[in-house]
Amino acid sequence: MKVIKTIQEYLSHLPILRQNSSNIGLVPTMGALHKGHLSLIDQSCQQNDITVCSIFVNPLQFNDSSDLNHYPRDLEKDLELLSNTGCDVVFAPTAAEMYATKPALKINFGYLENILEGCHRPGHFNGVGVVVSKLFNILQPNNAYFGQKDLQQVAIIKKLVQELSFPIHIVVCPIVRESNGLALSSRNARLSTDEKEKAAYISTVLKNACTTIQEHSVEETLSRAKQQLEDVSEFTLEYLECVHSDTFQHLESYTQGNTAFCVALQLGNVRLIDNMII
Ligand code: AMP
């Protein structure tokens, strides 16, 4: 496994990676890797000759400087985890390498900016759009792997690829959860054992909502689920919505396969998101 820290070094190495017209799969991450990330790596390894994992905590996508400062970082441990997978290249640049100057370019994703993560984290999707575009241009993958865990990010990336004609196929991977239902996240490292148990209840509420909606209206389902979350005094609910899983339009009624419940809340000083598609 080769660890590369500069754009120039990667570009020099690219002809070797491309020998015999190898397919390249990219897994973009912010590090503090867990089994969720590793499931993306595994899928890429199965579908490509070469797998590149990028590790970069992208300052441009943090709208909260405290969240950025507290974001867990442990490159050595990440490299150890990756060395036990089929990952071929780790691209781990510094912020100065990625942004010689702060980009003036702004990407506006229209409707997707105005709902859920878009309106609760102003500027976040611009940061995601800029960094993913740069990673696509630098690393030049054939396939790129993203988790359903960040469902609205998947919609953003698909729009980016479609509207800017990136010749890259996007593969969406299922959410990996703890046995108690808690969606794996790098931010979980900042939760106490007690908080982790409480956080697992988020997935129970989403599961209940998936059942409730079979027999009740969207409004009634959301109202019951919100109540369940608000009953946990440690949770501060940001949003719980029922949307189309591709377009993120609000749904008035449920359609099998495209109905997603998306939630964001604060637990202590950690912001957690989760979703479930029926
Ligand atoms: P991050 O390091 O949080 O930016 O995540 C990198 C990629 O891993 C994103 O595409 C995430 O959606 C994905 N990911 C994060 N957590 C999970 C999980 N629990 N299951 C599956 N994919 C995940």
Q: In the prediction, which pLDDT does 256 show?
A: 81
Distance 217 CA to ligand 1 centre (A): 31
Q: What is the reported pLDDT for 266?
A: 98
For ligand 1, mutation pick of 27, 143, 149, 277 (most atoms within 8 Å of CB): 149
Check pLDDT > 90 for residue 254. no
pLDDT at residue 39 tops 90: yes
Output the CA 98–ligand 1 centroid distance in Å: 21
> Given CA atoms 103, 104, 110, 115 in this order, what sign does their dihedral have?
positive
Q: Is 127 in the pocket of ligand 1 (CB under 6 A)?
A: no
3-state helix, strand, coil in the chain (%, to 5): 45, 20, 35
- For 168-225, the pLDDT digits (tens) are 999 999 999 999 999 999 999 999 999 999 999 999 999 999 999 999 999 999 999 9
Maximum separation of any 2 CA atoms in the chain, in Å: 58
158-171 mean pLDDT: 98
* DSSP 8-state secondary structure symbol assigned to residue 174: P
Average pLDDT over residues 7-20: 96
Per-residue pLDDT reduced to its tens digit, 47-95:
999 999 999 999 999 999 999 999 999 999 999 999 999 999 999 999 9
Distance CA 212, CA 76 (A): 45
Give the confidence band of 21 by pLDDT, cuts at 50, 70, 90: confident
Does the CB atom of residue 149 touch ligand 1 within 6 A? yes
Say how far apart CA 247 and CA 152 lie, in whole Å: 9
Active site residues: 37
State mean pLDDT over 222-247.
98
Cβ–ligand 1 contact at 26 (below 6 Å): no
What integer pLDDT is reported at residue 176 of this predicted model? 98
pLDDT on residue 257: 87
Mean pLDDT of all residues in 84-107: 97
How much is the average pLDDT of 157-178? 98
Q: Both tokens of residue 218?
A: 């969207």
Residue whose CA is closest, atom 18 of ligand 1?
Answer: 36
Distance from Cα 147 to the centre of ligand 1, integer Å: 5
Q: How far is the CA of 146 from the centre of ligand 1 (A)?
A: 7
User: In whole angstroms, what is the distance from residue 259 CA to residue 193 CA?
Assistant: 32
- CB atoms under 10 Å from CB of 66, counted, come to 9
Q: What confidence tens digit (pLDDT) does each residue in 129-152 have? A: 999 999 999 999 999 999 999 999
Q: What is the DSSP string of 147-209?
A: EGGGHHHHHHHHHHHHHTT---EEEEEPPPB-TTSPBP-GGGGGS-HHHHHHHHHHHHHHHHH
CA-nearest residue for atom 12, ligand 1, is 147
Whether residue 241 is predicted with pLDDT greater than 90 in this model: the reply is yes
Instruction: Return the sign of the alpha-carbon dihedral for residues 261, 156, 43, 79.
Output: negative
Ligand 1 pocket check for 40: Cβ under 6 Å: yes
CA distance 20 to 83: 24
User: pLDDT value at position 255?
Assistant: 82
Q: How far is the C-alpha of 205 from the C-alpha of 209, rounded, in Å?
A: 6
Q: What is the pTM of this model?
A: 0.97
